[in-house]
Chain A
Amino acid sequence: TQLLEQSPQFLSIQEGENLTVYCNSSSVFSSLQWYRQEPGEGPVLLVTVVTGGEVKKLKRLTFQFGDARKDSSLHITAAQPGDTGLYLCAGAKSALNFGKGTSLLVTP
């Protein structure tokens, strides 16, 4: 059973555009983590959000944890080709439960 649904599945945009990807569930999580995975490599942790309503910023990336701790979003401002990759969310609930990811392509 997939606890976390990520949308959109694929996203192709041009450099400079803004975008938001979503991670949704009907389950409550104690925390939620975001990872980025580049082709041929393992996922790399970007951020962990713990408190409902929490917002964290990492340069041009803004992460938000839903008030009810069931969902999260990742907003990228002025996307760059270096942002290309697979973005995975993972909810903590006895174990880490990974979504299937959003594959982002940013073209120059």
Chain B
Amino acid sequence: DAGITQSPRHKVTETGTPVTLRCHQTENHRYMYWYRQDPGHGLRLIHYSYGVKDTDKGEVSDGYSVSRSKTEDFLLTLESATSSQTSVYFCAISEAGTTYEQYFGPGTRLTVT
């Protein structure tokens, strides 16, 4: 299994509070991704990174920001959490471009009350 960890694995937070999710990889892959998975919508790309300090928006980026200061770490921040951001968040990595095989972390279940 690819060495990808996510923290925390579960979080409950209140509306309006900031939340940061962390993804850590030990594979030295260039590309990292954040997805959310919701019933009826499947996996949707939030943001991705193609190198240290290089990021781009995905399909559902509103309300989210990301940062990548080291190859191994990719952070997803909800500046002011809303109930619509209740979801399961997955980090993924790939060795090459955005169309290549991706390896997923175990997920973070976030509940915004």
Contact = CB atoms under 8 A, between A and B. Distances in A.
The reply to whether chain A is a binding partner of chain B is: yes
Interface residues of A, number: 22
Contact of A42 (B44, B101, B106): B106
Interface residues of B, number: 20
Given A31-B99, A96-B98, A96-B99, A88 B42 contact: yes
B98 A94 contact: yes
- Name the prevailing secondary structure of the A interface residues: strand
A101 B42 contact: yes
Contact residues of B: prevailing secondary structure: loop
Interface in B47-88: 58
Nearest to A99: B42
A6 B44 CA distance: 15
Nearest to A47: B101
A41 B1 CA distance: 12
A93 interface: yes
A42 B104 CA distance: 5
A30 interface: yes
A95 B96 CA distance: 12
Nearest to B90: A42
Given A35-B104, A48-B101, 4 more contacts: A2-B42, A40-B106, A40-B107, A95-B99
